[in-house]
Homo-oligomer: A and B are copies of this chain.
Amino acid sequence: MAANHPPNNEHIDDNMIKVEVNLDDISGEWLGFVMDRLFEAGANDVFYTPIYMKKNRPGILLQLLCSNQALSEMKDILLQETTTLGIRYYPITVHRMERRFIKVDTEWGPVTVKQGISKGKVFQSSPEYEDCKNIADKHHIPLKQVYEMVWKQL
């Protein structure tokens, strides 16, 4: 499951696979479920794109990223949970920034901020969604207000 938890230092990963499936005979209900299943099983990312398929069919292109080691399990889930008869894939390189986690204090408690760092320089500072959401839910304040407060503290 290494690929699911890549190291936090900046690195280039040459061991990744992009998997794609075209789907025109599955409902949106099932697709919502499939995404969760794939993430739980170690997919690094999963996302859908609306596509136009033959015979006037609105379809979905499922794309996922996983490590070479996880490919076999991803295929199993796609077979079990979708309607596909074919799975295609190709190697892909991923350059991941260094990730560092800092704490920022707000009047409602601390919020984790994920920093993206390259060559020692901080490029991104993203408040963690789940932290902000929990505060918004608990204190009945808008999520927007929580983010704005964190940004000011940075």
Interface positions of A (Cβ within 8 A of B): 16, 18, 20, 22-36, 39, 45-61, 65, 75, 79-97, 99, 114, 116, 118, 123-124, 126, 129, 133, 136, 142-145, 147-148, 151-152, 154
Contact = CB atoms under 8 A, between A and B. Distances in A.
A31 B54 contact: no
A99 B85 contact: yes
Contact of A47 (B61, B85, B96, B151): B61
Contact of A123 (B54, B80, B97): B80
Contact of A56 (B56, B65, B118, B148): B56
Given A86-B96, A87-B94, A81 B49 contact: no
B58 A56 contact: no
